A = this chain, B = another copy of it.
Amino acid sequence: MSRPWPARVRITEVGPRDGLQNQPQAIPTAAKAAFVRGLVAAGLGDVEVSAFVRPDRVPQLADAAELFARLGPAPAGVTYGALVPNAKGLERALAAGVGKVAVFTAATETFNQRNVGAGTREAIQRFGPVAQGTKAAGLALRGYVSVALGCPYEGPVAPERVLGVVEDLLALGCDEVSVGDTIGVGTPGSLARLLAVLLARVPAPALVLHLHDTRGMAVANVLTGLEHGIAAYDASAGGLGGCPFAPGASGNLATEDLVYLLDGLGVAHGVDLPRLRAATEPLRPFVGTLPGRVRQAPPWPPAATGGA
């Protein structure tokens, strides 16, 4: 608590993409559009809406173009982003009117080999045309580095390897790099070691933290990020994307839990909690009860006390 932290943070809402991509039940495009509009109404100005990936690989997001069409142009001050794996995906994304493009890679060779059949460096080089096309279109480019604090195949990951990937993504032209604890194994100890290595070479504003709460560490890791001056965080409304009680749960940090922490610290974020709760209502018939902790708890402070 001794270091000052950012006065304001930017939250990138990844629920519509990262949250919905693993849902077992098909969700109508209209419900997704209502969800995204609700997120914007709750104050979330940076929303990753979908991914322009092969529909046979990720059928849950096969309606990306239709979803962008339904949404129409993003309101002023709002960015609708999308994950894009290759030039063909970028073509579709640009045609759909995407406002921000994200490319996705991992910190370990094994994860990349299994995911895209290429090593880390080659995987990033393949993004060259996407990066060039994104820049030519005047759009922002985000890079993801997944499994940055631990890989399901390789175990713990050396911070220097993450730094190498972050630098490659910045060299590619990324405006920001989202560093992900994809399997939720990081602690304030391992995260502090990683951030010390990254921040020695990369300016804090280029970094975003993407934390998963699989082992209950996400909020403590955000606190650690704040103490290191990181001012941008990914989160998923209601913790959409995985219930900790379900096998294979992804355990995305819930946007509400992040907001509750930030409110407690007096850090500005611009998100309205009641509206955020309302935003997920259109999904309710398809995703059931969401696992976020604040979402599950009674409101605080209780209205009757009039406390602050």
Contacts and interface: CB of A to CB of B under 8 A. Distances in A.
Task: Give the interface SS of chain A, mostly helix, strand, loop or mixed.
Answer: loop
Nearest to A157: B307
**Copies of this chain:** 2
Contacts of A184: 297
A192 B206 CA distance: 29
A261 B187 contact: yes
Contact of A156 (B292, B297, B308): B308
Contact of A1 (B185, B219, B227): B227
Interface string A264-308: 111000000000000000000000010011101100111001111
30 contacts: A1-B188, A2-B3, A155-B301, A155-B302, A155-B306, A155-B307, A156-B307, A184-B297, A187-B263, A187-B265, A188-B223, A214-B297, A215-B257, A215-B293, A216-B216, A216-B219, A216-B254, A216-B260, A216-B293, A216-B294, A217-B219, A217-B257, A217-B261, A219-B220, A220-B220, A220-B223, A244-B296, A244-B297, A245-B245, A245-B296
Given A150-B300, A216-B216, 20 more contacts: A2-B227, A152-B302, A186-B264, A187-B265, A188-B223, A189-B265, A189-B266, A215-B297, A215-B300, A216-B218, A216-B219, A216-B257, A217-B219, A219-B219, A220-B222, A220-B223, A220-B261, A244-B293, A244-B297, A245-B296
